[in-house]
Each structure stands twice: as C-alpha cells, then as structure tokens.
Chains A and B, each alone.
Chain A
Amino acid sequence: MTDTSYQTSENITVWRSISDSLLKIRTEHIVVTLAILLLVVFVVYPYGTMLKKSIVTKTGDLTLEHIKEAFASGDVFLEPLINSLSISFFVTLICLVIAMPFAFLVSKTDLPFKKLISIGLIVPYILPSYGLSMSWILLFSKKGVLEFFWGKELGFSVYGYWAIVTIQAIHIYPFAFILLTNAYAQLNQEFFDAGRILGGGKRYVLWRITIPLLAPAILSSAILVFAYAMAEFAPAMLLGGPEGIYVLTTQIWSFATVFPTNLPMAAILAITLMLCTLTVLTFNQIYLARRRFTTITGKASRIDIVALGKWKYAALAGCFAFLFFVIILPLFTLMLGAMIDIWGKGYGLGNLTLKHFKEVFFELEDCKRSILNVFSLGVSAGAVAVVIGMVISYFIIRSRQAASRALNLVAFIPFVIPGIVIGIGLILSFTRPPLALYGTIWMLLVGYVIRFLPIVTSSGTAAFRQIDEELEEAGRIFGASWIKTQIKILFPILKSPLIGAWLLVFVSVMKEVSMSSIVWSPGTEVAPVMALIAFADGEFSQAVSLSGVMIAVVLVGTWLAVKIGAVKFVET
C-alpha cells in the first residue's frame, strides 16, 4: 500500500518535471517564433516596402528613376546628406572636447561635489532636444530673453547651421561623458604605475599607455555620438527650417508630410540615413569585438586621485558655470517663455501669467487631446514594451545559442534605426488592410514599442544576467514548478528593473518627435509633436507650455528611475 503510493507520487513528480521542461522548451519556441514574427512584420516588412517604394513605379514596374531623380536634385538629396554628415561630424568633435575633460575631472581628480556635478552634466541628455532648441531661440532671438535683460541688441541670427551643431552638441555630449567616465573608472591604476616604475616618464606613459588604453572607448563614443546626431530631428527642424537648411531627417519629414508629398524620395532618403548609421554602428560592433581584450583588469583596482591643488576651485567654478549655461539658463528661459502674457511686451513680472497652462490643459481641444494621447501612449507603450522586452530578455540569457542570437537581433535592430526611418517604414507599410493602422492611435503605439524595445531588453538582459540561474534552480529543488518559479522568485527580484524600464520608455515617449512627427495624424496628435508644430507656426506660448509640461514629467520620471536604482548613468 505504502509502496504504491510512493510509486505514484514519484511518477507524478517525474511527469511534472517532464511536462515542465516541455513547457519551457515549448515556451521558448513560441517566444522565439513570435519575436521573429514581430521582427518580420514590424521591422523587416517596413524596410521592404521602403525599398520597394524607392525602386518601383506606381504601376508596379522596376525603375531607377527615383534614385536618378534624387541624385540629380542636389538640394533635396546631396545637400541634406552633406549637412547631416558634416553637422554630425562637428557635433561629435565638440562632444568629445566637452566630455573628455569632464570625465577626467569627475573620475580622476579631487574635485568637490563630484556626484552633483556628474548628475548635472547628464541633465541636458535627459531634457528633450526640442525643449533645448526652443529655449535657444527664445534666449537669443530679437527681443528675446537675453536682449531684454542685457538691454542691447545681440545682432546675430539664432538660426542656422552652427545653431544646430551647438544645440545637438549640448544635448548629446552627456552620452559621450557617460561612456568615457565609465571607461576611465575601469582603468586599473597599476597599468600606469607599471609604466612609471619601468622607466616611462609621465608624458611617455600618457602616449604609450593611457591613450592607447582609452582609444577604443573614445572611438566608440565618437561613433555612437555620430549616429545619434545623424538621427536627431528637432534641432534641425526648429533651427534649420527657418533658414532653409535641411538635413536628412528634416528633408525626409518634409517629403513625407508637407504637401505635395513625395514618398519615394522620402523612402530613398530614409534608406540613405539608415545606411549611414548602420555602417558606423556595425563598424563599432566589429571593432569592439576585436578590442574586447581591453576590458581585462586585475582584481586590485585602485584609482590614484589627482590633486588639483590651486586649480580645484577654478575647475569647480568652470563646472558650475557650464552647468548654468546648459541647465539653468534653458530651463529658466522656457519657464519665462511659457508665462508670457503678450509677446513683444518684454519679460517683466507684469507680463507674466499662468493662463497658457490652463489653455493647453483645459481649453484648446487639440492640445488637451495631445496631452491625453501622449500620456496614455506612454503608459501603454511602456507596459507593452516591458512585457515583450522582458520575455525576450529572459530567453536571450537563458536560451541555447541560436535562439539567443535570433532574439538579440530582434532586440538590437531598432536601436540602430533612426526614429524617422521607423516612421517612414510604418506609414508606407500599414496604410492598407490587413493592417490598416495608419491614422489610428495603434500606429503610434506600435512605433513607440518598436523604437523603445531596446531600452527594455538592454536593462532586462543586464538584470537576468545578474540573477544566477541557481536562484531559479533553488526554486525548483524546493518544489516550485517552472512557471511558479518565474512568478514567485524572478518577478519580485526583477520588480525594480521592470518599473525602471517602464519609466524609461514612458519618459522616452515624452521626448520622442522624430518617429511621431511622421506617424501622427489629426486626432492622434501627441504633445511633443504638437509643441514642435505650434512653435514652427509661431504659437510660442502654447508650444513652450506644452514642452514645459513634458520636461517636468521627463525630469520627474528619470529621477524616479534613478531613485529606484533601475538606471545608473555613471559608476561612482
């Protein structure tokens, strides 16, 4: 009697473990299949249509006419291309010049308030670039904030090529700063000590050891900054548009949205833009893979802090002055701009009002709708991206080689594609049944999820990598099934990365204008695009108060994500 019951329970256990592993294998297959399907439908298919659009006539014949047309019409193809490349080049250069000394200061010296300064230095990256562009214009334009307080005419144009370069550099340098600071922090002091004790002077060690060791990190951040700058949209639109300076992103936008539209040209430009960013980023991947050895360090990692001596306070003053110009001044200007009662009557207290906030929240139908839309899209895109992204992350870490690679690709590809290109792909692909999403809010949701999936998978894979498989195995050995283990053990541990990823996607939606300015349609306005268009139309108060709301949400959201420990920009 006892024997049989023992037998039965053992049988049950065996069956359960078999069904569990079957479940896991089956789940893995389903997830991989679904993910690849997702990739095909929302990533591969759009590029297919984009390509098709650029080489096929309306009647369906193959043609090179569109491409010929593009190359023939210099001012709508070559000129924006050259502008994009040269602006990105200068932006990269400036970003490195700004980021390198700051990274050195906060990671290697005895500068006071290091933590505060490194947080401050990252803020311009957190602020949306459309906000920075607007503040630049309000600050420097005729009868702008600066002229009002200065009392003199500045006498230079706020728009144009160098304005785009400046704003982009201010927005993107923190990206290089983060990468370089982490690279500095990883360098083992003993590398330099070894060089010194073996007879190398300070300068010799700098050239033979320090620079070669940092070179991969510097080159890599240069490439990432370049690709980021190529994909930027808002600064070129706000600062270049009025002077007729177009870059690839703004030219694509113009072809896709300004009557008469020219979708084949938009497609060709989008492919060109994608090829540019794809080339540099692929190069980066290959280069990094080859240079992987540079990350080896010993166990002992001591950093010798450089004493700044009498330069300490000069450096501190420099840092605070810089932060004043890139954070305080833009935010202050935007705040003033949002509160101006009557434009042209100055910025005195008497001319300030809060009525514009009331207007955008309660009175203007399209503004009201755009705020509601962007918040609901932010919340839902975050949730969808987190669910899909976490499942994909789990299988990237825990799957066999091939499946893991396929999933990695799904997760990585959108990362290297500029938002505007995603936008073009979507409007070209989903205007007809079976997936006639264009014109609906679903189109934007799909766009945001695709665009920001890499945010979730990067923090997701990092989180899963940290969770030892033994934690899962421990769950199993103490009697929980696979599914139960996921719910009872993994989920609680992952809670903060999950919330963090959700917050970051939400915040990114508040900052997104390149994809959404292509995909939106009347009725599905989103606040950032609304602000951009309003600003371009001269509706400054509306535009700036909408931006102000976005910025406030972005700052709070990012702060929360950092607070719960889901994001760590700089290792200190």
Chain B
Amino acid sequence: MPEVVLSDLYKKFGKLVAVDHINLTVKDGQFLTLLGPSGCGKTTTLRLIAGFIKPDGGEIRVGDRRVSSIQANVNVPPEKRKMAMVFQSYALWPHMTVLDNVMFGLRTRKIPANKAKQRAMESLALVQLADLADRFPHQLSGGQQQRVSFARAIATEPEVLLLDEPLSNLDAKLREAMRFELRQLHNELAITTIYVTHDQTEAIMLSDEICLIHKGKILQACPPKEIYDNPSCCTVADFIGITNLMPAVIKYDAERVKAAVIQSGDMIYSHIPNNYPDQAEVTLSIRPEYIKIYQDLPSEKKNVLKGKIKERTYTGNNIDYRIAVQEEIIRVQVFDTDIFHQIEAQVYLWINPDKVTVLSE
C-alpha cells in the first residue's frame, strides 16, 4: 500500500479559503483521522484527495503517482485514482441490489462477472451480510446499509480508503459497536485509510494518527495519546476531550523557581518550557481527571488550591464537579463514585504537576 502525501494543498471557494496550505503525510497502512468542527475544511480536503474537486494550489501524491498537481497541471479523475470511499449518506444506489452495489467497482475495473461476484460475496461475508446480497438497500437497516457501503468500498481492494463521517447517521449504541468493527477491519486489511469526523472520541478510538484541522489549517498532527496529553494550543486542548483552560502569568517564586500564577493568586508548578520568560502571559490546560479533591489539607506542599463545590453531576462512571476557586470555576472528574462531596463544601484541590500543559495565548 502506498503512502499519501499532501504538499502545500490549497483550495478556496470564492473568497473563503477552505484548505489553507496543508502539508500532511499519511503513511502506508496508517489510519489517519482528519478531525475538526464542521466547516473547518476536513471534508474539502477529503474530496480533494478523492478528486471530486480540483485544488487551487499544491500537490497530492499517492505512492509515486501524482494525482493532483497545479504545477504539473495534473488532475487525475476520481475513477482513475484507485481509491474507494464510504459516504456519510452511504450513497447505496437504490435501483441496485446489495450485490450489484458491491460489484459496481469491480465491474468498472473490467473484472469478469463471475469473478466479480465471488469477490463481492467475499467482501459481504467480511461484514457478515452475505445472506442479504439480493436485497435492495431500502430493505436494510441503517447499520446494515453502512456495512454494505463499507463492503462496496473494500471489495475493490483500493490503495487508499476514504471515509466521510460514515458513522454519523447511526444511533449512539450502533455507532459505538461499528467503531470497534471498523478498527478491527482496518487491522485485518491494513489499507491506508483517511477518515473524516467531527467526533473526537471516534477519532481517538480509531486512529493511528489524528490531524486536527481548524479554519483550513492543520493545528496538530500526531498519535491520539500525544494530542490528548500535549495539545499544541488552546483550540486543540479544548476540542480534544474536556479541559480547564486557565489564564496565568509566569513568575519566579522565592526560590527562583518558575511557576504559573493563576487568577486566584495561587502558584501552579509544572514543567514550564524555557521559552516562557518572566511575566509571560500563558494559558494552562489541565484535564479534569488530573485534579484530585481532598476534604482536609493534603500532604502535598505545592499545587494545592482551596475551593468550594458549586455543582455536582453523577454520570455513571464518574462524578463531575464544578468547583469555585475564588472567581474561577474548575471542572474536576472523580472516578471513585462512592465518595460524594456535598455542595458548598470547602475542599482542597491538588493538581498533578506532570499533567499541566502550558500554552501560549
């Protein structure tokens, strides 16, 4: 399987810049997710890769094939790109049976009918739908349609598999199940896959690498764990998971150690990179599960704040608190659901210094 390389990719619609000079490499057999809010340019990027739209600048390479290049004036039409795609609406053709849908891509590749049928059936078997081959799409449930759409895509053994929010039309339970199935299929087939979604949980669960796009630009591209633990900026920190974003100022303490002073005046110690000088204004990103609540003053000397419980929400697998530290509200998630702190109770918070990310802005 080849890798996919986007260099300096650029696309605008009228005055709106949808894709703003994107550089990205999707490695051989990798599952990469383009993640971002709606309108960020992720779907446009996918459609540029598929060849449905023509870029206004830059280049797209698949292995050693240039499929789009403004400089070389190359734009390979979608049907010649050896790709396959799973669509948000599934796009199963209503006038064809399930089998005919899956065979379509094989017949366009001039594979003889009996051979094509055999491969289509294999592909349907892979998604456990071989027995529904003669049905029409409207006779299937949403989840089954989704799988047919997937079988149709992989039957052609594409070099690159594109998925455009394929799970967004399913209900929550089914979506959860399909995520696992999708990941499993990818592990088996190891097709270079580009996945578009606005759902960060989906992205984290499925991807080898997440590429977060915002206003047409890539903010960060790295494995899920890294993007979660070390977001590169406030937008990323805010978009991936839940976080507390706290404005702070860098100062030296009495022992000449750098710390961040938050609005309450408390000092938060962590690994502050050297490029933040004294008095620099920063934002701290602290995940709610990395903050601990104590009823009495804890033994820790540093990073202890005094607060008052304002709200408490029990969610099943955790308790979600909103705690006022002077004017600032801090969100804390506690996974030990046997202890409930009462509303208005005075508590102490301890912030793990290893889990504080210092961000500029």
Contact = CB atoms under 8 A, between A and B. Distances in A.
Given A194-B93, A198-B104, A293-B137, A299 B88 contact: yes
A212 B77 contact: no
A197 to B, nearest CB: 5
Interface string A201-240: 1101000110011000000000000000000000000000
B212 interface: no
B94 A196 contact: no
Contacts of A196: 51-52, 77-79
Given A199-B109, A298-B169, A293 B136 contact: yes
B215 to A, nearest CB: 20
* Listed residue (B77, B90, B138) with the most chain A CB atoms within 10 angstroms of its CB: B90
A501 B286 CA distance: 62
Contacts of B108: 198-200, 204
Contacts of A193: 50, 52, 78, 85, 87, 91
A257 interface: no
B34 interface: no
A440 interface: no
Contact of B104 (A190, A200, A201, A299): A200
Contacts of B105: 198-199
A296 interface: yes
Contact of B88 (A197, A202, A300): A300
Interface in B126-155: 136-138, 152-153
A148 interface: no
A448 to B, nearest CB: 41
B79 A199 contact: yes
Given A190-B89, A193-B87, A200-B79, A212 B95 contact: yes
A212 to B, nearest CB: 5
B26 to A, nearest CB: 17
A353 to B, nearest CB: 54
A191 interface: yes
A188 B88 CA distance: 11
Contacts of A299: 88-89, 168-169
B108 to A, nearest CB: 3
Interface residues of A, number: 28
Given A198-B152, A199-B108, A298 B88 contact: yes
Contacts of A297: 89
Contacts of B77: 196, 201-202
A298 B109 contact: no
A201 B83 CA distance: 14
A63 interface: no
A289 to B, nearest CB: 13
Given A196-B79, A197-B79, A293-B137, A213 B94 contact: yes
B234 to A, nearest CB: 30
A288 to B, nearest CB: 14
Contact of A190 (B81, B88, B94, B136): B88
Interface in B34-89: 50-52, 77-81, 83-85, 87-89
Contacts of B168: 299
Interface string A178-190: 0000000000101
A194 B152 CA distance: 10
A294 B96 CA distance: 10
Contacts of B169: 298-299
A297 B108 CA distance: 24
Contacts of B50: 193, 197
Contact of A194 (B85, B109, B136): B85
A198 B83 CA distance: 7
B162 interface: yes
B193 interface: no
Contact of B156 (A195, A198, A213): A198
B95 A201 contact: no
A228 to B, nearest CB: 27
Contacts of B109: 199
A296 B138 contact: yes
Contacts of B89: 188, 190, 297-301
Contacts of A300: 87-89
A304 interface: yes
B1 to A, nearest CB: 17
A198 to B, nearest CB: 3
A294 B81 contact: no
11 contacts: A190-B88, A190-B91, A191-B93, A193-B50, A196-B79, A197-B52, A198-B104, A213-B94, A296-B94, A299-B88, A299-B169
Interface of B: 50-52, 77-81, 83-85, 87-91, 93-95, 104-105, 108-109, 136-138, 152-153, 156, 162, 168-169
Given A193-B91, A298-B87, 12 more contacts: A190-B89, A193-B87, A194-B152, A197-B83, A198-B79, A198-B84, A199-B79, A201-B77, A202-B77, A204-B108, A299-B169, A300-B87
